[in-house]
Amino acid sequence: MTENVISRKAEALSKALRLLDNFAGDGIGHTDSEGETLDADDVCAELASEFGLECEPGWWRKVAEEMSPPPRDAVKAGDAEALLAHPSRGVLHRAIYDVLHEHRMSNMTDEDGAIGYPLVDLMSNQAPADIGTGMVQMVELADQIVASIPGIALQLDRKVGMYGSAYDPPGPCRAYTYEHQPSNLPAYSLGQAHSAAASMSAGDSIDRGLGLLKALEEQGFGVFEIEREKED
């Protein structure tokens, strides 16, 4: 696939996302045959949030660029670093690549007769010699390894409730603090929870705390304990 084709695909995708953004500005929505209502404002906010963006002018182009495949011109040039730097690849790609790049074959000797022939040399073109081609092969191998992993479970020290059962829900979850703030849509839902909790009948601090938890859960949120920095 040439860089021109990739550029045209990114441009077509950015136009579609821009059209969606314009619909959001007009408050357009749609209810499908199964009764699910899709609101353009909510869809834009959710999509931008998943890419770590705000719904600001030009956000659609950044999403399109990130979703586009890396240019094949970089492959031809043997530029592994340019491929690894593409937004479609992350820290896992880099980690796998680094392991492959440093690996030495224990069943082969190098040119000095020492055990441990570099895998990158083995994967590179020999005539003419070009180690860059082997490095690119390692990037592509890292792509295949990452794509073959259905999901990665991180074992975190997170517990639910006073009895400490493990917190490992299905699906992605985000943790928000004032320093690490949510996008507008989750922030709006938090505000709704705040209003609901404030309108509940008064009690002591325990009752108000439990009421706040109830209101947050109704808006799709929970609460994590975090260590506060000690004041001097």
Average pLDDT along the chain: 75
CA 3 vs CA 9, 144, 181, 184: distances in Å: 10, 21, 37, 35
Distance CA 209, CA 225 (A): 14
Q: What is the DSSP string of 67-92?
A: HSPPPHHHHHTT-HHHHHTSTT--HH
Distance CA 168, CA 160 (A): 9
Distance CA 164, CA 170 (A): 18
11 or 156, greater pLDDT: 11
Q: Which residues of 67-84 are buried (b: 16+ CB within 10 A; e: fewer)?
A: ebebbeebbeebbbebbb
Confidence at residue 96, expressed as pLDDT on a 0 to 100 scale: 92
Mean pLDDT over residues 39-43, rounded?
Answer: 82
Confidence at residue 43, expressed as pLDDT on a 0 to 100 scale: 82
CB 31 within 8 Å of CB 8: no
Q: 176: which DSSP letter?
A: -
User: Please, which pLDDT band fits residue 153 given cuts at 50, 70 and 90?
Assistant: very low
Q: Which long-range contacts (CB under 8 A, 24 or more apart) does 80-89 make?
A: 80/132, 80/135, 80/136, 80/138, 80/139, 83/136, 83/139, 84/139, 89/139, 89/142, 89/143
pLDDT tens readout for residues 84-120: 887 778 888 889 999 999 999 988 887 777 888 889 8
User: Please, which pLDDT band fits residue 154 given cuts at 50, 70 and 90?
Assistant: very low
| Percent of residues, the chain, with pLDDT higher than 70 | 73
Residue 93, both tokens:
């790609």
Tell me the torsion sign for CA atoms 45, 50, 56, 62: negative
Confidence at residue 26, expressed as pLDDT on a 0 to 100 scale: 73
